[in-house]
Each structure stands twice: as C-alpha cells, then as structure tokens.
Amino acid sequence: MRVILFDIDGTLVRTGGAGKAAMEDALRAEFAVRDIKDTVPYSGRTDRAIARDLLRVHGIPDTAANERTLREAYLAQLPHTLGRYPGLVCPGVAELVAELAACPNTLLGLLTGNVRAGAATKLGHYGLWHHFRCGGFGDDHYDRDDVARAAVASARQTAGRDFDPRAVWVVGDTPLDVSCARAVGANAVAVATGWHPLEELTACEPDHAFADLSDLRRVRTIWAAQQMRG
C-alpha cells in the first residue's frame, strides 16, 4: 500500500491570492482593521498560525474566540475571492490525481495548512476535492509537523490498517513540506509550482524534485520504483 499526501496551495492549485485576500477581508470586516500590515508569512504555514499572527501584529488579542471569529469570516469570504481572483490547477495535477485516485492499493490524501472547510472550498472550486479520502488540516495545529502527524493518523484510520512510514509520500512546494515529511518518516517530493524555486527546494534534499508535475511519465517512475522495492 502507498499513501500520497498532497499540499494544496502552490502544489495542486494556485488561487491568485484569493486565500490571502479572503483572510484580509475577514480581518477588515470583523475587527475594523483599515491598514493591513504585510508582515505575516503565509507560504507553507497553517491557517491557524496565520490567523494568530495577523491578530497579534494588528494589536488584537489572539484568543481562541477571536481566532474562531476570524476563521469563520475567512470561510465566508473565500468563495467570493475565489471567483474574483484568477487561479489555475497546476500543470499535470488534474490528470495525475485522477490517475492516482483510481489506482488500487493507493490512498490519496491531503496534508495542508488550510482548515478543512477552506480546503474543500478551494479544491471544490477547481473540481479536485472528490479525489481525496483523508487528510491533515490546519484547524487544530499551529505547526505543520503536527498536521503531518494528523494526516498519517487519518490515513491509517481510513485504510483500516497500519503501514510503514516509508509507504507515505508527501508532495509539496515549500521547504516546510519537505521538513514535515521527514518529521513523520515519509518520503518527500518537492515541486516548484509555488513560490520557492527548484534550486531552493533541491537544497532541502527531498527524495525527488520537479519543476512541475506535467511530465507524468517521469512522475510515475517514483511509484513504479516503490512497487519494485515492495
């Protein structure tokens, strides 16, 4: 059995900034923030960590209630910003995930900093959500390594069996995707369709690195090699 866990933003899709815009619109609407400070990093981080830091840098108490208010407002804004901002499915993704989802003995899941409802909204918008059967999300965690652990636990529950961590593959576009794969003993596949160049990702020493996922024949060799190893 193999488990393949995909990141979303910059790996499966690029939303053209719709997620960030929705978070900032929510901050304005719920907390009357006029000038948004552009000092909070988004790439590779969980929505919960982003929300906490946005509250802090704008002088708003980062209480659980305020985080929840911001998250709910963000989810309400997200469908609108997805419609306004031009986005795309990353090269090769639509064919690859459809193929993998149909493969016997393969479990396709998500490992993302998005909250689950946000992940469903984004991938539903691009017609990809139905391919994924399990996942780890940013609802309950600030740290991506914890999301990775949750994703593996979700995969085990969905599969109804245990499996070797070496049967798990994490596909993502940031150095944090590589590091969280290592945190759970999984294989790491880096893809430079996000905001980090291939050279930077290669320096993180993933098991494989691609400019994008459009060369399906080459990408397939990863799983073929795993089958040969058993």
In this structure, the chain runs to a length of 230
Q: Across residues 135-141, what is the average pLDDT? A: 93
Beta bridge partners of 209: 190
pLDDT confidence bin for 225, thresholds 50/70/90: low
Note the pLDDT of residue 33: 93
Q: Which among 28, 56, 84 is the end of a domain?
A: 84
167: domain CATH number is 3.40.50.1000
Same domain, 160 and 201: yes
Q: Identify the three-state secondary structure at position 76.
A: helix
| Residue 229 in this model has a pLDDT that exceeds 80 | no
| Residue 167 in this model has a pLDDT that exceeds 90 | yes
User: What is the C-alpha separation between 202 and 149, in angstroms, rounded?
Assistant: 23
Same domain, 59 and 167: no
Q: Could you tell me the CA-to-CA distances from 125 to 76, 88, 104, 119, 156 in Å, in that order?
A: 14, 10, 27, 10, 28
Note the pLDDT of residue 38: 87
Q: What is the pLDDT of residues 82-126, one digit of tens each?
A: 999 999 999 999 999 999 999 988 999 999 999 999 999 999 999
Domain of residue 92: give its range.
Answer: 2-14+88-229
Same domain, 105 and 149: yes
Q: What is the count of structural domains for the chain?
A: 2
Across the beta sheet with 2-6, the strand order is: 134-136, 106-111, 2-6, 168-172, 187-191, 208-210
Same domain, 78 and 93: no
pLDDT confidence bin for 222, thresholds 50/70/90: confident
Same domain, 39 and 54: yes
| Residue 53 in this model has a pLDDT that exceeds 50 | yes
Tell which residue, 159, 161, 196, has the closest CA to residue 7: 196
| Residue 68 in this model has a pLDDT that exceeds 80 | yes
Note the pLDDT of residue 227: 55
Q: Across residues 173-200, what is the average pLDDT? A: 97
% of the chain surpassing 90 pLDDT: 89
Q: Which helix (H) or strand (E) holds 159?
A: helix 144-159
pTM of the complete model:
0.94
Note the pLDDT of residue 230: 47
Tell me the average pLDDT of the chain.
94
Contact (CB, 8 A) for 212 and 14: no
Same domain, 183 and 197: yes
Note the pLDDT of residue 228: 43
